[in-house]
Each structure stands twice: as C-alpha cells, then as structure tokens.
C-alpha cells in the first residue's frame, strides 16, 4: 500500500509555481542552459510546504500525473527561452553582452549628467534674474512688510 502524502495538492501546485518562476528567471539570466526532471523534482521535494527528504515520493502516487504534465509545460517554456537566447546573436558571448550594456549605460549617464548641468546653469540664471527683479521692486515700492 502506498504511503499517503504529507502535503496537499494546493501545496504541490504552489511549490511547483515557485520552482517554475525560479527556473524561468535563471534561464532568462543565463544561469542555466538545460534542465532535467530529476533536478526539478529534487527542487520541488526540498520546498518548505512539501518537505520531503528525497524526491522518490514525487515519482509515484497521485501527484505523478500532475507533475508529468507540469514538467512538459515547463520544458516547453524553458526551450523557448533557450532558443531566444541562441537566436539573439550566437557569436556574442556573455562578457561581450555585458560590455555592450555597460557602454550603453555609460552613454546614458553621460547624457543625463550633461542635462543636469544644463538645468543647473538655467536655474542659476533665473536665480540672478529673480534677485535683480526683487531689488527693482524694492526700490520702486519699498519693503512690503506687515510690521
């Protein structure tokens, strides 16, 4: 007789979604290039709501059908991400991509620094003009005080 599971189906779907999100983010960031069912089942078994010491219980029992279909969908989504990475520019390595991104960010920072300097100059001109106009107003009408 098979042992009953210590987790519910809702716990399993929750933890599967968390593992899926982690794997998709890792794939998008280039931390993983392939995935195997045993590694994914180990990740699911180690999750807090599942709390299994090994993934053997996930390979059999009522949750197996759900996990099989879930893994097939996950593989499809990961394959799309892997294919999009390879289609982007296969000759470009990770370091080249990072240096390109760095150069773009550096250009943006330079542009924004120049923009801030221009605004500061315009602000200083307006401050001087405002002081002159206050002096003229005081000369013409005197101080406007409530005292």
pLDDT tens, residue by residue, 96-128: 888 888 999 999 999 999 999 999 999 999 999
Helices (H), the chain: 9-28, 37-46, 56-59, 63-88, 94-141
Closest CA to 142 of 134, 20, 112: 134
pLDDT of residue 104: 93
Mean pLDDT of 39-51: 88
Q: Is the pLDDT of residue 147 over 50?
A: no
pLDDT of residue 87: 64
> Residue 100 contacts by C-beta under 8 Å, 6 or more apart in sequence?
92
Q: What is the C-alpha to C-alpha distance for residues 76 and 39, in angstroms, rounded to an integer?
A: 16
Q: Is the pLDDT of residue 88 over 80?
A: no
41 by Cβ neighbours in 10 Å (0-12 / 13-18 / 19+) ranks as buried
Angstrom distances, CA of residue 38 to CA of 54, 120, 130, 143: 10, 60, 72, 83
Closest CA to 47 of 6, 4, 3, 2: 6
């Amino acid at each position: 007789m098979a042992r009953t599971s210590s987790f519910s189906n809702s716990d399993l779907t929750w933890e599967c979604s968390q593992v899926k999100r982690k794997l998709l983010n890792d794939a998008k960031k280039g931390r993983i290039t392939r995935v195997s069912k045993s590694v994914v089942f180990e990740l699911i078994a180690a999750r807090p709501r599942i709390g299994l010491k090994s993934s053997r219980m996930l390979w059999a029992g009522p949750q197996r059908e759900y996990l099989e279909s879930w893994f097939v969908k996950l593989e499809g989504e990961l394959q799309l991400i892997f294919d999009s990475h390879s289609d982007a520019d296969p000759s470009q390595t990770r370091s080249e991509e990072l240096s390109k991104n760095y150069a773009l960010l550096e250009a943006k920072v330079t542009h924004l620094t120049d923009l801030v300097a221009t605004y500061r100059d315009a602000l200083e001109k307006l401050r001087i003009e405002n002081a002159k106009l206050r002096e003229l107003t005081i000369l013409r009408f005197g101080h406007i005080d409530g005292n």
